[in-house]
Structure 1
Amino acid sequence: MGTSKSLSRRGLMVLGGLFVLGGGAVGCGSADDSPDPDLRKVRTDVEPLQRRFRAIGRLSDPHWLGYNPNDSGREWIPDQDPQVRVVGVARLPAGAAKAIVGRPMYAFVPSPPSDIPEELTEFLPEGAEWLGSVRYDEYLTKSLYTGRFLFSATTDHVYFDTVNPEIVPSSPPQ
């Protein structure tokens, strides 16, 4: 008899928890439960990127997003692992991308961007032939954060896709 009461109490607790969560989703979320559109607004300010990616060199004409990829858009569910994905594209000075990818020590190979946020697709340059290097990624991040950096020597652009990018100790542009 003690076992059936325990199971019964547990069952009621589980059902009660589901009811509370279900009610919260309807009562507290937005009508369509979609994330706030301003959280995925394309940014064009260069200063935050320049501070974090200083070793790349001078950036201009950026289009980027900074958002938590794990955010459900529901304020009542706390993020388990708060992260900031910083992803976008920026222009480099003429010839800078060619100089970077031409360094044999980094062993750049063709590497198209993946998992591109829809908000950024219109800003990717046409005709870009993206090249990436694990060694160059490690040089830029100093293994302090996850980051992928792709360069197009044909358009002088860099595509970056990072998680929790930090300001890395001084490294001269390369």
Structure 2
Amino acid sequence: MERRKVIGIGAGLAVLPVWWALRQVVNGASGANGTDGTNGDWHTDTAPLERAFPLLGPLTDAKWVSSRDNDRGIPSPELVISGFVRLAPGRLAELTAAHAFVSEGPADDFTSWFEKPLKGEGPESPHWIRSHDLDRDGSGYSTHLWFDRRSDTVRFWALNPYG
């Protein structure tokens, strides 16, 4: 019994630094404490998104949330960010010229508990297009990007966007 306790405590202590580091990436970089880019419901800073989605280039406006917002106290190695971001003028034209796009919208309307602040936000009557070339799938992360041509807005959902 004593050995199991030691192993359990050791495993918990091994996970704690990873959980803390991920929390710092989201909370520290995005100002989830109510300053530096958050209005209490969602984040408005673009710097973390520019790091997560470098191909999108400089970003001009954002509304996004993360699964670390209002943390429920359960450490998890997975981080999800979701929201809207506006591209710099002309950037969507560059992307559509360089990649194949199809008419495709998101399957859901912000169904996760942390995404609730985003319901009703975003462009009015969007016509979403998507390029599967721009979505990343690989070891430990996945990204889905939908683009609205009329507003230069990108709706995104990303699992472990920082690798």
Q: Same fold (TM over 0.5)?
A: yes
**How far, CA to CA, are the matches of 1:142 and 1:97 in structure 2?**
24
- Which 5+ residue runs of structure 2 have no aligned equivalent? 1-33, 35-39
Kindly tell me: are residues 96 and 42 of structure 1, through their superposed partners in 2, closer, same or farther at Cα, counting changes over 3 Å?
A: same
Q: What percent of counterpart residues are identical?
A: 29
Could you say what secondary structure the match of 1:134 adopts? coil
Residue of structure 1 equivalent to 2:77: 82
**How far, CA to CA, are the matches of 2:139 and 2:100 in structure 1?**
18
Could you say what secondary structure the match of 2:156 adopts? strand
Q: State the 1:143 CA deviation.
A: 5.7
Q: What value does the CA root-mean-square deviation take over the aligned residues? A: 2.6
Residue of structure 1 equivalent to 2:44: 44
Kindly tell me: are residues 144 and 55 of structure 1, through their superposed partners in 2, closer, same or farther at Cα, counting changes over 3 Å?
A: farther
Relative to total residues, which structure has the larger helix share, 1 or 2? 1
Could you say what secondary structure the match of 2:93 adopts? helix
**How far, CA to CA, are the matches of 1:153 and 1:143 in structure 2?**
30
- Which 5+ residue runs of structure 1 have no aligned equivalent? 1-37, 168-174
TM-score (structure 1 length as normaliser): 0.58
Q: State the 1:152 CA deviation.
A: 1.2
- Runs ≥4 residues deviating over 6 A: none
Q: Which amino acid aligns with 1:135?
A: D
TM-score (structure 2 length as normaliser): 0.62
Bigger relative contact order (CA 8 A; separation at least 6):
1
Could you say what secondary structure the match of 1:65 adopts? strand
Q: State the 1:158 CA deviation.
A: 1.0
Q: State the 1:45 CA deviation.
A: 1.3
Q: State the 1:49 CA deviation.
A: 0.9
Residue of structure 2 equivalent to 1:134: 132
Give the alignment of 1:1-174 within 5 angstroms: 41-67=41-67, 73=72, 75=73, 78=74, 82-103=77-98, 106-113=99-106, 114-116=108-110, 117-138=115-136, 145-166=141-162
Aligned pairs, number: 119
**How far, CA to CA, are the matches of 1:161 and 1:63 in structure 2?**
12
- For the 8 Å contact 1:98–1:156, the answer to whether it is kept is no
